Chains A and B, each alone.
Chain A
Amino acid sequence: MTDPILKARGLVKRYGRVTALDHCDFDLMPGEILAVIGDNGAGKSTLIKAISGAVVPDGGEIWLEGKPVRFTSPIQAREHGIETVYQTLAMSPALSITDNMFMGRELRRPGWRGSLLRQLDRPKMERIAREKLSDLGLMTIQNINQAVETLSGGQRQGVAVARAAAFGSRVIILDEPTAALGVKESRRVLELILDVRSRGIPIILISHNMPHVFEVADRIHVHRLGKRLCVIDPKDHSMSDAVAYMTGADTPPEAMQPA
């Protein structure tokens, strides 16, 4: 078996008396789509935030491509090629689509206007933003410079996904990417997820939408009570099995439980 691209062992995170992560393990294999499912409050979001640098775990270790890493901010995780689409989308409503897509990694003009005046290369950023949105099929966005607050919920989500897909080089994390989307946009996002995988970039998909999870995931990480309960193969298990495991209605067979 190949080594995981992203590996975590014994992650612990406590918020006061609440334990969100309880010695949690995590493995993401190269080129796979790993779905993370779990009941509300199981600690999925905290696990994802620990991996993406938004939360610093109290204990445990994380390895990226075999090297130990310790992120204290999302910027550091991004510099290592880990790109995240948060459930809250992390966009500035009053700024334009282009501004949001390039937030924190703006392109400067070549030559003295970029180095001396630090001028942004708006034409280039707008062109790339338009391309990325077209890749995602977000054709209903007419003006790339319109403020994000004037977009519908689904369009905003589409922009956030396009941002991650455009810049993620090692791992892309999607937290509930289809929750607010319409039929057409959901389909596009799922297609995009498969498309990104075909480029060899692994994806972590957090979702409550079981049909979507079972359609695209290669493996499913079932999270329960702050730790990994088991990892199942969607081909060997049904949706009701998965729901039974994650809610505690049923326990997975011994063999499925990682050591």
Chain B
Amino acid sequence: MSKTENYEDAVSRASSDVASFDEHEKGLFGRFHHLLHTTPALVPLIVLVAAIVIFGLVLGSKFFSPFALTLILQQVQIVGVLAAAQSLIILTAGIDLSVGAIAVLCSVVMGKITFDYGLPPFIAVVLGLTVGTLIGGINGWLVSKVKLPPFIVTLGMWQIVLAANYLYSANETIRAQEIEEQAPFLQFLGTTFDVGGARLTLGVIAMVVLVGALAYALRATAWGRHVYAVGDDPEAAELAGVSVHRTLMSVYMLVGFICALAGWVMIGRFGSVSPSATTGVIGNIQAITAVVIGGISLFGGRGSILGAFFGALIVGVFELGLRMAGANPQWTFLLIGVLIIGAVAVDQWIRKVSA
């Protein structure tokens, strides 16, 4: 025993300073790679700025004006809010196919409660937000307690909510004029104001504030750290003392709430309440597209919600820019397809920790 033990004694003479190495000369390229690794939202930001610059150079002041640029914000406000919701789910390594459907159903609920039951619009909005939160809660419960895959749960919930939306509303639209006369509060988020050529709506501001608040919560609060930990490795998070169930429930309920908020934004944007709004059918894919272009990993635990916001803006810039350039709209879809694949490829490259 004594003979075998002595070899470890030499350890006591070892230095006890924090290790430091000469900064290995990485060059500009290497430093850029490191920056991308530590700041995942940088890639979509670069793409966004590049897209704006290129369209600005090609199209001139027609595109590069406060009016056009804020028009993009208005056009992406619904997708932007949905993408914020989708980001939270994807950070927990889930996926939510029901976001758009929940938004449409909640906008219908807000309209129906005001016009069919005669309740004040404020109450209608509160109830609409509650319905969204409840649907999110059901999703969360099925994912967290019944342990069903999020894809399956929300694929089913998407159909259920969309069908319920048509059944409940009898596919009847509430016209913008009626809402304007009788319940202007429903269109509250559509309130516009001009700031020197730029036109903003409260819906746009709501989107920006929402993204900012979520970015803060994810980065600087315990809840945010738990969301990342659960997405990274739920078993490890549980053993480390995180309540995975509570975290997932809070995320899914918050997402339901945000989707309902998107429904309210929709009324502001369109003026009317329409059960057959395309958001119900393609809102989920639009949101996932923004999230993926924004560099959030579909495997969970990695990425930043700012990236998803930039992703939504990139799509908006492409749509408006190409339309102004008179291109066939199919070019937009083609380029977005390229961006999706490109974003994931860049992401894989950044992940190479060794570099």
Contact = CB atoms under 8 A, between A and B. Distances in A.
Interface in A230-255: none
Given A75-B243, A94-B232, A183-B11, A106 B222 contact: yes
Interface stretch (A7-15, A97-105, A198-206): A97-105
B222 A211 contact: no
Contact of A88 (B18, B20, B236): B236
A90 B236 contact: yes
B239 A118 contact: no
Nearest to A93: B232
Interface residues of B, number: 38
Nearest to B8: A187
A184 interface: yes
B301 interface: yes
A92 B235 CA distance: 9
Residue in B17, B21, B240, B301 with the greatest tally of chain A CB atoms within 10 Å: B240
Interface stretch (A62-70, A136-144, A220-228): A136-144
Contact of A120 (B221, B229, B235, B240): B221
Nearest to B353: A150
Given A94-B228, A95-B232, A149-B353, A104 B240 contact: yes
Contacts of B11: 183-184, 187
Nearest to B225: A99
A169 interface: no
Interface string B206-230: 0000000000110011110110110
A11 B223 CA distance: 35
A118 B241 contact: no
B44 to A, nearest CB: 19
Interface string B11-22: 100111111110
A56 interface: no
B222 A92 contact: no
B14 A184 contact: yes
B241 A75 contact: yes
B62 interface: no
Nearest to B243: A75
Given A149-B353, A150-B353, A183-B11, A94 B301 contact: yes
A214 B19 CA distance: 32
A217 to B, nearest CB: 14
A121 to B, nearest CB: 10
Contacts of A142: 18-21
B228 A95 contact: yes
Contacts of A95: 225, 228-229, 232
A150 B37 CA distance: 12
Contacts of A119: 220-221
B233 interface: yes
A75 B247 CA distance: 14
Contacts of A170: none
A211 B232 CA distance: 36
Given A90-B236, A104-B242, A183-B8, A118 B221 contact: yes
B225 A78 contact: no
B176 interface: no
A120 B222 contact: yes
15 contacts: A74-B239, A90-B236, A92-B237, A92-B301, A93-B233, A94-B302, A95-B225, A99-B229, A118-B221, A119-B220, A122-B220, A134-B18, A183-B11, A186-B8, A215-B5
Interface of A: 54, 73-75, 78, 84, 86, 88-95, 99-100, 103-106, 108, 117-120, 122, 134, 137, 139-142, 149-150, 183-184, 186-187, 211, 214-215
The 6 tightest CB contacts between A and B, nearest first, are A104-B241, A90-B239, A106-B222, A92-B232, A103-B240, A92-B229
Given A94-B301, A100-B240, 14 more contacts: A74-B238, A86-B239, A92-B232, A92-B236, A99-B228, A99-B229, A103-B226, A103-B241, A117-B216, A118-B222, A118-B223, A120-B222, A120-B225, A183-B7
